């Protein structure tokens, strides 16, 4: 069986101090592999990408006042998670919120089993960390957005064509 194809809307969610909210996650089948990632998830039938982004922010973080802005970037990736391969096309949006308190009670059962922390990061913290951050290049994208504003056209995020949470390396 081939990878499950999926469309996902993801969000660079910024607070009033321009900190970005990331979730700390791990593969339930390999808890030692850990990473930080942006809020977001699958686009449901009948939703557009921005609507999915709004819904995912509310479900994963409890933040309901997020203002979804323009499309910043896109990425195509393949990965293994919870014993299944995915081929995912991702759309990254900029969003702002005045709320910094989070509530994970709206997370799905799988999200509850595979995330254990939400944290607001400054650009400096994001740039300096040695922890794994997805998508690759997030600090650079955020820095550009904060200095110059959103790009006139969405950028294509580079990164592994295939990454596996099981083995923790890039494959060609």
pLDDT in tens, 63-95: 999 999 999 999 998 888 888 888 889 999 999
By the 8 A CB rule, do 39 and 60 touch? yes
Q: What is the pLDDT of residue 127?
A: 97
Lowest mean per-residue pLDDT among 8-22, 103-117, 158-172: 158-172
User: Which pLDDT score, from 0 to 100, does residue 172 have?
Assistant: 28
Do residues 168 and 79 lie in contact, with contact meaning Cβ atoms separated by under 8 Å? no
pLDDT of residue 82: 83
Q: How many residues does the chain have?
A: 172
pLDDT at 170 over 70: no
Ordered alpha helix ranges (H), the chain: 49-61, 109-114, 123-128, 138-148
What is the third-level CATH fold of 4-164? Nucleoside Triphosphate Pyrophosphohydrolase (3.90.79)
DSSP 31: E
Quick one: pLDDT band at residue 3, thresholds 50, 70, 90?
A: confident
Q: What is the mean pLDDT of residues 92-118?
A: 93
pLDDT of the residue at 171: 29
The residue among 116 and 163 whose pLDDT is bigger is: 116
Specify the DSSP class assigned to residue 99. Answer: -
What's 104's DSSP letter?
-
Every domain of the chain and the residues it spans = 4-164
161-167 — which CB contacts under 8 Å span 24+ positions? 161/76, 161/77, 161/78, 162/77, 162/78, 162/79, 163/77, 163/78, 163/79, 164/79, 164/80, 165/26, 165/27, 165/30, 165/33, 165/35, 165/79, 165/80, 165/81, 166/27, 166/29, 166/30, 166/33, 166/80
User: Residues 111-147: pLDDT tens digits?
Assistant: 888 899 999 999 999 999 999 999 999 999 999 999 9
Averaged pLDDT score across all residues of the chain: 89
| Tokens coding 111 | 């999200």
| Candidate ranges 10-19, 27-36, 70-79; pick with highest mean pLDDT | 10-19
Q: What is the pLDDT of residue 71?
A: 96
């Amino acid at each position: 069986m081939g990878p499950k194809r999926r469309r996902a809307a993801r969000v660079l969610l910024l607070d009033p101090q321009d900190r970005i909210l990331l979730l700390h996650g791990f593969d339930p089948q390999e808890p030692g592999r850990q990473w930080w990632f942006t809020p977001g998830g699958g686009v449901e039938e009948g939703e557009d990408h921005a609507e999915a982004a709004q819904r995912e922010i509310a479900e994963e973080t409890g933040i309901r006042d997020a203002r979804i802005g323009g499309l910043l970037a896109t990425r195509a990736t393949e990965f293994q998670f919870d014993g299944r391969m995915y081929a995912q096309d991702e759309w990254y949006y900029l969003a702002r919120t005045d709320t910094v308190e989070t509530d994970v009670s709206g997370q799905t059962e799988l999200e509850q089993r595979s995330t254990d922390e939400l944290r607001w990061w400054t650009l400096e913290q994001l740039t300096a960390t040695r922890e794994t951050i997805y998508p690759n290049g997030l600090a650079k994208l955020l820095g550009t957005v904060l200095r110059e504003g959103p790009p006139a056209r969405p950028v294509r995020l580079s990164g592994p064509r295939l990454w596996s949470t099981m083995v923790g390396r890039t494959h060609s």
